[in-house]
Amino acid sequence: MLSRLMSGSSRSLEREYSCTVRLLDDSEYTCTIQRDAKGQYLFDLLCHHLNLLEKDYFGIRFVDPDKQRHWLEFTKSVVKQLRSQPPFTMCFRVKFYPADPVALKEEITRYLVFLQIKRDLYHGRLLCKTSDAALLAAYILQAEIGDYDPGKHPEGYSSKFQFFPKHSEKLERKIAEIHKTELSGQTPATSELNFLRKAQTLETYGVDPHPCKDVSGNAAFLAFTPFGFVVLQGNKRVHFIKWNEVTKLKFEGKTFYLYVSQKEEKKIILTYFAPTPEACKHLWKCGIENQAFYKLEKSSQVRTVSSSNLFFKGSRFRYSGRVAKEVMESSAKIKREPPEIHRAGMVPSRSCPSITHGPRLSSVPRTRRRAVHISIMEGLESLRDSAHSTPVRTSSHGDTFLPHVRSSRADSNERVAVIADEAYSPADSVLPTPVAEHSLELMLLSRQINGATCIEEEKESEASTPTAAELEALGGELRALCQGHGRPEEEQAMVCLQNPLSGEPAH
């Protein structure tokens, strides 16, 4: 009898798995789940830990053994979805960006959205013109270090913060100027709210980019936003399709189709090619979920969707959550004392070092950086001065709410828009789709030509790190090669992108 009880207890222990979830402030939440635990159970644990009620905007992201990123499905077993060996590592992220983050009911929700958008700025997902970038970064400075104090903030103090993938001295001076002269007296909550108000007006707000190619073989980034489907190429938004114009989403192998019905019965089919069939399926599922969340009036209208014209063939998928309208109605009924918010402050961060009061990334010796995988995507330039932002809240945020800022822009008939001064080129480590890896030599050469900063989150195992001398030698070889072909270095630029190792959580 005793042996039987012991064996049963042993089997029970074997069915428990350790999970670590990285939160938006880079802290970690660790828990134990049963083998058959559903994604909803883990998500509810996280939201309880964060004291979060407006939770429908968030999700849990993970990377499978093939480096393909996924959103955890709440109706399925966690263990079966991950397909990797425990302990499991995942990330808590914004999945559905609020159409107007300023209008969120609770400050804790707005603060978490702020942290996500700040990450988007740092990793190049949220890109804007340099004129906007300085203001957004200044809001971050004000939120994190307070009013300018000449005794504490010497000349060049803004260069100690890494707001974007790359900085220029001119941009850093502008950031400091705005911080010194325009933001004095703003509390962290106010600065964060102003940041959200500005960030939501950007063309790339809410963009979770999927790298693809169009029918001509040109590189493009596809994304789903609160307002519709967008395609980014170079520094332009070449397509913007409102959700009410999207009639169907389909994929076959690596080919993704978007069916559009516009005014005057004009029908269009947009076709793009993903790197892998798995990436294409992930793109399709993201589209199905975003369309249901933002377009439908009630979750009861959600239907199971097939990837094929024949319902009994292909993949089938059904969105399982509430829709945006229901979430907003539910949020309006929240009545409780606002939960206390523990802002990250001046704490070192692995993947969003704007809150690390240390040397600018470009000045950190390369021998101190971990080697990373990269991807070279033809036709795109490396990101230089991208934008950064911060979340804020005032005591009466309803009084400062601007309800028509985004809607008026989204309703514009303009389909092509310039989104930034530079080409859209987010870090590969934040893309939801894996991109083919290239050799270390290409990585080093592209770093030298672009001056691009490549960092990665902490990893269990480290690869060998190249020395500064090796970098200089390889850079000289490539410069000589470029000169030999009579082309300027700018035209030879290659994109230095991050690529997480297998099993590394998605940003």
Residue 360 DSSP label: -
CB 117 within 8 A of CB 391: yes
Query: With 0-12 CB in 10 A as exposed, 13-18 as middle and 19+ as buried, what is 3?
Result: exposed
Side chain identity, residue 265: E
CB 385 within 8 A of CB 137: no
Tally Cβ neighbours within 10 Å of residue 320: 15
**Which among 421, 424, 433 has a CA at the least distance from the CA of 282?**
433
Q: CA 213 to CA 406: how far, in whole Å? A: 29
The Cα-based distances of 270 to 67, 240, 241, 458, 488 in angstroms read 27, 11, 10, 39, 35
CB 498 within 8 A of CB 446: no
Tally Cβ neighbours within 10 Å of residue 90: 24
At 429 the pLDDT is: 64
Q: What is the pLDDT of residues 147-174, one digit of tens each?
A: 999 989 998 888 888 898 887 899 999 9
Q: Which residue has the higher pLDDT, 428 or 125?
A: 125
Tokens of 467: 């020395």
- HEC assignment per residue over 262-321: EHHHEEEEEEEECCCHHHHHHHHHHHHHHHHHHHCCCHHHCCCEECCCCCCCCCEECCCC
**Which among 306, 354, 312 has a CA at the least distance from the CA of 145?**
354
At 405 the pLDDT is: 41
**pLDDT band (50, 70, 90) for residue 416:** confident
Q: Which residue has the higher pLDDT, 23 or 4?
A: 23
Q: CA 41 to CA 51: how far, in whole Å? A: 15
Query: With 0-12 CB in 10 A as exposed, 13-18 as middle and 19+ as buried, what is 295?
Result: middle
At 130 the pLDDT is: 87
**pLDDT band (50, 70, 90) for residue 375:** very low
Q: Is the pLDDT of residue 321 over 70?
A: yes
Q: CA 125 to CA 35: how far, in whole Å? A: 35
Q: Of 94-98, 138-142, 449-453, which range is least confident?
A: 449-453
Tokens of 375: 């991807």
Q: Is the pLDDT of residue 432 over 60?
A: yes
Q: What is the pLDDT of residues 5-47, one digit of tens each?
A: 554 544 544 689 999 999 999 999 999 999 999 999 999 999 9
Query: With 0-12 CB in 10 A as exposed, 13-18 as middle and 19+ as buried, what is 34?
Result: middle
At 422 the pLDDT is: 80
Q: Is the pLDDT of residue 492 over 70?
A: no
Q: Is the pLDDT of residue 329 over 90?
A: yes
- HEC assignment per residue over 91-111: EEEECCCCCCHHHCCCHHHHH
> Please, which residues have CB within 8 angstroms of residue 153's CB and are 6 or more apart in sequence?
145
Helices marked H in 124-224? 130-145, 169-181, 188-199
Q: Is the pLDDT of residue 60 over 50?
A: yes
**Mean per-residue pLDDT of the chain:** 74
Q: Is the pLDDT of residue 310 over 90?
A: no
Q: CA 384 to CA 164: how far, in whole Å? A: 8
Q: Is the pLDDT of residue 3 over 90?
A: no
Mean per-residue pLDDT for 353-375? 32
Q: Is the pLDDT of residue 297 over 60?
A: yes
